[in-house]
Amino acid sequence: MKLQVLAITLLQHFSNAFVVSNSRIKTTELFGSVRGLESGKDTSVEPTEGGMVLYVKAAEDGKSVGDCPFTQYVRMVLEEKGLDYDVRPCTAETKPQWLIELYEGKMPALRHRRECYTESEVIAQYLEFFFSGDEYASLAKPKKKEMAEASEVVGKIFPALAKYLKHTPDGDDEDDELKSGLCEALNLLEAHLTSEGRTGPFIVGDGEHVTLLDCNLAPKLYHMKVGVTAFKDNAVGVDDDFPAVAGYINTIFNRESFTKTKYPEETIVWGWGNARSK
């Protein structure tokens, strides 16, 4: 399939996809993400033929995988589907030139042979769309209404968390307001997880099956668990105040796709420490 045709196919398919970190993906945003599939005039900077490679933010040492929750989202999808891939941590100095010239250096970036995709949700949807045959493990595909309802709840978590963790000084009036905002988001998640008709532990629909949304949420809850302890003196008591959320965290954190892709807690502390100092 020609790259331009593939880009149009993806654009049409992804127009109904969900961005969990905020709201639905906008068509213009998707086009901006996939337009790099177009062949550049300088073929020397295009991705080379080969397998599946994920370019990701590097940790403090410049060599190991960094703290990006969006990268872990993509990696969890890859693991859930049993796909082989290489991970290449990059710093600003070690990014491939073609990634900078064709894709503005955005990461995570998934290169699959001569194609490349940026934006974690676009990558996840690409993997789900093209690797869903019998030879691949498929994540559950819930009804659109169920996905939309769960996405609305999940989408409030990370924005509230990021505002809270970034804020200094800790413990002032604004900090308390931001903490309340995170707790409100967790209350919505708690209510969703305990709603009538749920029979399983996962996030969408009746909770019986893992979906893309679980892969999206798990890394962000990992950041919450580590960040609130490291910077906010464990001011949000998830175990006591949000028992269903605590149970979900225990379940998803013990899933192999999570344990194989998580980075050390100190890497998360390093990342948020940098964000708090700006």
Residue 90 forms beta bridges with which residues? 57
The string of pLDDT tens digits covering residues 149-197 is: 999 999 999 999 999 999 999 999 999 999 999 999 999 999 999 999 9
Token code pair at residue 180: 């309340």
Taking all residues of the chain, what is their mean pLDDT, rounded to a whole number?
86
Q: To the nearest 10°, the Cα dihedral for 111, 202, 194, 159? A: -20
**Which residues are catalytic, by number?**
68
Backbone angles phi, psi at 97, to 5 degrees: -65, -40
Which residue type does 224 have? M
Give me the domains of the chain, ranges plus CATH numbers.
3-130 (3.40.30.10), 144-276 (1.20.1050.10)
The string of pLDDT tens digits covering residues 79-91 is: 999 999 999 999 9
pTM of the model: 0.85
CB 17 within 8 A of CB 25: yes
The string of pLDDT tens digits covering residues 237-254 is: 999 999 999 999 999 999
CB atoms within 10 A of CB 176: 11
